[in-house]
Structure 1
Amino acid sequence: MNPRVAIAVAAVAGLSAAGCSANASDTPAGKVIPAADRGGAVSAQGTGLDDKPLDLADHRGEIVVVNFWGSWCEPCRTEAPVLEAAAKKYTGVRFLGVDSKDTKDGGRAFLRTFKLSYPSFFDPEAKIAAAFKTVNPNSLPATLILDRQGRVAVNLPGQLSAARIEPVLDQMVAEK
């Protein structure tokens, strides 16, 4: 390989690995961010796929799981039953979806197909994702767990399984 190409590839790989985070800590994805290292509360308002207004601020005081998905995304389709099962299991936790870069008809069909009981923002232009600053709307699925103050406490990129989400939800529910 040409040395200049090798250097360029290494630089791009290094930048990609650096990523961005919601806080100044080095907490890896999937781990609960220490409360002292969490950023400020996230503010996001929009309209749901049911055409009703949604506002994250309405859920302060609750743990909130925010799942970014698209009806066209196969891993999103695979994890949808996992999230619905968790939403039923964790009665004290609020679940919200964010249908990104999608059509309203596609999103509504997804909700019907997977019988999701929780609401989803309709976010065709990824404006809700931009409010979080940690979600790449081109890399779905992605899930964030917000603490009771509305701060990002856990970043779970990629497809979820019960084994990935339940331990962090247990830890968040136990947090006072």
Structure 2
Amino acid sequence: ELSGFTLDPVAFEDGKGKCPYDPTKGHTGLIVDGELYSATFNNFLGTEPVILRNLGPHYSVKTEYLTSWLNEPHFVASAFVPESAGSSGDDDKVYFFFSERAVEYDCYAEQVVARVARVCKGDVGGARTLQKKWTSFLKARLVCSAPEQQLHFNRLQAVFTLPGARWQDTAFFGVFQARW
């Protein structure tokens, strides 16, 4: 039972899209207004990363299975940031924090970078293209470094969200690790 977080002892719940099959894979999730937003792996092999919304009144919406969207991510945390105290919810945001293999670098060594992705809570997917896929999905790199020592902390380990009175005052604190 989603509203009261109770377990029905005689019912089965499919875990696909809610948690990974492999417990060593990073995953995160949160419930916002009765809907589950999760970042996990959608198949048994753990090769299909997905950020999706399910378990609620709307039909599920998920990321496209493309390496430009998610490329071998290790999901760390998620956070809900409302637009305002009395917002209708359409412009509220859900953030996902993770590290992934970068596709934008052309080098011999694999480069892992920290990222944040954002989706709008009111996103219902596209009408013709991107049906049942996020149309508000945005992704950015998180940079933490000590440039004077030429030291870069590319792996994200944990994130804490400090809510503010307004969405602009919300602060995110991350724990980063060097590549080695």
State if a TM-score over 0.5 links the two structures. no
| Higher-RCO chain (CA-CA 8 Å, sequence separation at least 6) | 1
TM-score, normalised via structure 1 length: 0.25
- Greater helix share, 1 or 2? 1
TM-score, normalised via structure 2 length: 0.25
